[in-house]
Structure 1
Amino acid sequence: MNKELFLVRHAEADATNFDIKDIERPLTADGEIDASKLGKMMVDLLGTPDLILSSTAVRTRTTTAMLAEQLGYDPVNVDYDEDLYESSTRILLRVINELEDKNNKVVIVAHNPAITYLAEYVTGAVIGNVSPAGLVHLKFDGAWAEVSQNNMDLVKYYKPAARSENN
């Protein structure tokens, strides 16, 4: 039961408008470009995923919409989960452990530091800090309910700069 998990940090968000709530912050123009590039790169990695889960924040919704379009994933089927906004390693791990095993390729679009902490927790690898529009590709041979500390394999961490060099 080989599983692949793609942890995505939302693309670059506007940090200059202090009149809006954090959850309502939109992507910057560069963030939109990076999200689109990430989606194109992900097509080669996984084709169409079985499931996409996303935080409810505007910046993650926009990133997710761009990824779904590139991946040929029906945006109506995206699972928007309020728990992914301001989440923790514990919450993300619970979400993963509750996934149905029919889903072999899963994309989760969320926020830092939770994305970084989770990737490091389940792999034992030191990633440091997942960049905006960064992608952590993980593999696991087993059921989602079995994912735990140090039992997933880190395939690769993709940074936006690395994508720009390849495209």
Structure 2
Amino acid sequence: MNKELFLVRHAEADSTNFDIKDIERPLTSDGEIDASKLGKTMAELLGTPDLILSSTAIRTRTTTALVAEQLGYDPVNVDYLEDLYESSTRILLRVINELEDKNNKVVIVAHNPAITYLAEYVSGAVIGNVSPAGLVHLKFKGSWAEISDKTMDLVKYHKPVRPAQT
């Protein structure tokens, strides 16, 4: 069965308030707009996913909520995983390899550099840097447990589009 993986980097987060912990950083207002637009783009690409996994950081939780709303995905069904915060390619790959094969369309909302590194590792493509509210769409035919180095096809890397400032 075909598997589709949608790797999402959280939208733009506030980097001006040094009084809060990193895990508690909220999205900026532009970040909230970008996350909602990303959800609309994703709805056109995949409809409703079978599963959404998210980091526990505030910025990923908010991004996930805004995306899930656009996808018609019940937010109570999102799996929030502490392992996705300050993650690595190895940890993300383990999470993917442990997915149940009944889930054919999976969204993971997490952080850089892990999202970029994982996308490049499993696809062999050079992406460079997944931007905030960026989306990497990957496909694979087989079982989640089989995904490894260069086993997935990069369908497309979607960057957020903002209107030019005047």
Same fold? TM cut 0.5: yes
Q: Secondary structure at the match of 1:160?
A: coil
Residue 70 of structure 2 corresponds to 70
C-alpha distance after superposition, 1:84-109 (max 9, x if no partner): 00000000000000000000000000
The residue correspondences of 1:126-165 to structure 2 (distance < 5 A) are 126-161=126-161
CA distance in 2, matches of 1:158, 1:40: 12
The residue correspondences of 1:3-42 to structure 2 (distance < 5 A) are 3-42=3-42
Q: Secondary structure at the match of 1:4?
A: strand
Q: CA deviation at 1:164?
A: 6.1
Structure 2: tracts of 5 or more residues without a match: none
Q: CA deviation at 1:148?
A: 0.3
Q: CA deviation at 1:160?
A: 0.5
Structure 1 residues 164 and 140: alpha-carbon distance in aligned structure 2, compared to 1, 3 A threshold: farther
Q: Secondary structure at the match of 1:125?
A: coil
Aligned sequence identity (%): 88
Give the alignment's Cα RMSD to 1 decimal.
1.1
CA distance in 1, matches of 2:103, 2:144: 9
1:55 aligns with 2:46: no
Residue 97 of structure 1 corresponds to 97
TM-score, normalised to structure 1, is 0.97
CA distance in 2, matches of 1:13, 1:74: 24
CA distance in 1, matches of 2:67, 2:158: 15
CA distance in 1, matches of 2:21, 2:44: 35
CA distance in 2, matches of 1:67, 1:36: 6
Structure 1 residues 164 and 99: alpha-carbon distance in aligned structure 2, compared to 1, 3 A threshold: farther
Structure 1 residues 164 and 90: alpha-carbon distance in aligned structure 2, compared to 1, 3 A threshold: farther
C-alpha distance after superposition, 1:14-66 (max 9, x if no partner): 00000000000000000000000000111010000000000000000000000
Aligned residues: 164
TM-score, normalised to structure 2, is 0.97
CA distance in 2, matches of 1:68, 1:109: 11
Residue 121 of structure 1 corresponds to 121
Q: Secondary structure at the match of 1:102?
A: coil
**What letter matches 2:88 in structure 1?**
S
Q: Secondary structure at the match of 1:14?
A: coil
CA distance in 1, matches of 2:116, 2:62: 20
C-alpha distance after superposition, 1:96-154 (max 9, x if no partner): 00000000000000000000000000000000000000000000000000000001000
